[in-house]
Chain A
Amino acid sequence: MSLLTVENLRVTFDTETGPVQAVRGVSFSLGRERLGIVGESGSGKTMTGRSVLRLIRPPGRIEADRMEFDGQDLMRIPETGMRALRGRRIAMVMQDPKFSLNPVMRVGEQLTEGLRRRDRLGRAEAVRKALAALEAVQIRDPERVMQAYPHELSGGMGQRVMIAMMLIPEPDLLIADEPTSALDVTVQAEVLQILDTLVRDRGMGLIFVSHDLRLVARFCDRVLVMYRGRIVEELPARELMAARHPYTRGLLNCLPRIGGARGPLPVLDRSGDWADD
């Protein structure tokens, strides 16, 4: 049975200058697997992820024919019910860790807050768990990082703190929005390994939003390619590098390669049919 089913999801922002459709009829279903979402900037990847948690601020609104998580209708659950789901059963790693962490609160406090309040753990136990989570994401000096403020972390450390924070409550579904864009390849591999283990052993569902086509091709099971709020192509991740759709091909062509020519890189050509709505 699938963990998450989304049918015809639409996200509209009623702005002062008229409605803006950020997501225009997205449908997919997710089992206990790794689903990648790729696409250019502004194509609605983040908004799709946030809709699942109903975390779209006004003036945005969410409509869907169906949005079901583990048998629960996400469109109908009252806000209190959603709050119980968020973080605990569905977690989201936000795209901009520096923006999502509280800038004037120590990392340790932010990590243990949920454990102490939600799981009613004692201080020592919560700290122990938080340290373990930081170690798991390859933070070298977890004790120091616990005492640090977010601005004292490097870009990649902030990202890993965010991942650790989301994994502590052991969610059933993790939505990871660009979780590894600021990580070097070896640390990235370790972090992906953790996610992979969770999917395999605990049966967590993972939505993995990323710009990095090659990473998605390597790591995910299935990929959705988004363009201007729609899914233009859905394919097994293994076949992503050999995708046929001109948009996907266009994106792939833009990538530099080690040992490639130094000349100007090709950029996306938007003159094809696919570009008109």
Chain B
Amino acid sequence: MTDRPAIEIDRLDVTFAAKGRAVRAVQGVSLAVARRESFGLVGESGSGKSTILRAICGLAPVSGGAIRLGGDPLPARRGKDFSTRVQMVFQDPYASLHPRHTIDRTLSEPLAIHGIGDTDARVVRALQDVGLPAAFRFRYPHQLSGGQRQRVAIARALMLNPQILLLDEPTSALDASVQAEVLNLLTRLREERGLTFLMVSHDLAVIDHMCDRILVMQHGRAVEEIAHADLAAGRMQTDYARSLFAASADRMLS
């Protein structure tokens, strides 16, 4: 059981029906993320990275292939059991918190859905875990900065103690110092809780800092998988991956 990959995606196809035309957003992508591993997805804008994360969550129309968690195929309706195993942090911290709910409400909602008691203590602890003062508990999102909002989003994702976190460009809307805070937070939480990450980012430096392996995507297809050591050394097979690397020259450790 333990050596089964936490996430296994096998020749996944996702097809959107848009105005009678089929949009094949993901075509035959396979990947496997081991337990406690941090896996990165990079690639062209519109190449289906977010769609893969959404497909895992049952938020995108899968038209072929299989997704398995810990070896078990996923039911078509994800259900409550799924939400205790996998959670997602969305790209835009300004759009992912309900503007009319206090932080308290946002964080206690998953507990209410799953009928978990002890709400007060859990919410306070969750805030503590992501390094927010307990005084923020009854604030509204518009009273928080981008980085603080992203922390709340991370805290919300952790409320149900999932083992897998899907991170869709978790820091692209944040400034350099807040990005560092959020990345440090994610790394710490991963160590403490043994989490598995599947993470999308455009910034190869962020990916390099966070991920053990990366998959490069283009036009809805997987182009190449690269190990962490090879990324820094610039050892790539395909032209597209090399062009990404070359365009990130300013992010290299000089």
Contacts and interface: CB of A to CB of B under 8 A. Distances in A.
Consider the complex of A and B and state whether they touch directly, i.e. have CB atoms less than 8 Å apart. yes
Interface of A: 39-42, 96, 98-99, 139-141, 144, 147-148, 152-157, 160, 178, 181-189, 211, 213-215, 217-218, 250-252, 254-260, 262, 264-268
19 contacts: A40-B175, A40-B176, A42-B146, A96-B95, A139-B46, A154-B46, A184-B42, A185-B248, A189-B247, A254-B177, A256-B183, A256-B206, A257-B209, A257-B251, A258-B204, A260-B205, A262-B187, A262-B209, A264-B184
**4 smallest A-B Cβ distances: which pairs?**
A156-B45, A259-B232, A268-B177, A256-B209
Interface stretch (B16-24, B77-85, B109-117): B16-24
Interface in B93-150: 94-95, 145-147
A187 B23 CA distance: 20
A93 to B, nearest CB: 15
Contacts of B219: 140
B244 A41 contact: no
Interface string B173-192: 11111111101100110000
B176 A140 contact: no
B89 to A, nearest CB: 14
A184 B187 contact: no
For A152, A160, A211, which residue has the most chain B Cβ atoms within 10 angstroms?
A211
Contacts of A259: 208, 232-233, 252-253
Nearest to A185: B247
Contacts, number: 152
B44 interface: yes
Contacts of B181: 267
B202 A183 contact: yes
Contact of A211 (B45, B175, B204): B175
B21 A144 contact: yes
Nearest to B243: A186
B92 interface: yes
Contact of A256 (B44, B208, B243): B208
A210 to B, nearest CB: 9
Contacts of A188: 202, 247
Contacts of B169: 155, 182
B50 interface: yes
A17 to B, nearest CB: 11
Contacts of A251: 175-177
A266 B204 contact: no
Interface string B207-220: 01100000000010
B180 A39 contact: no
A255 B247 contact: no
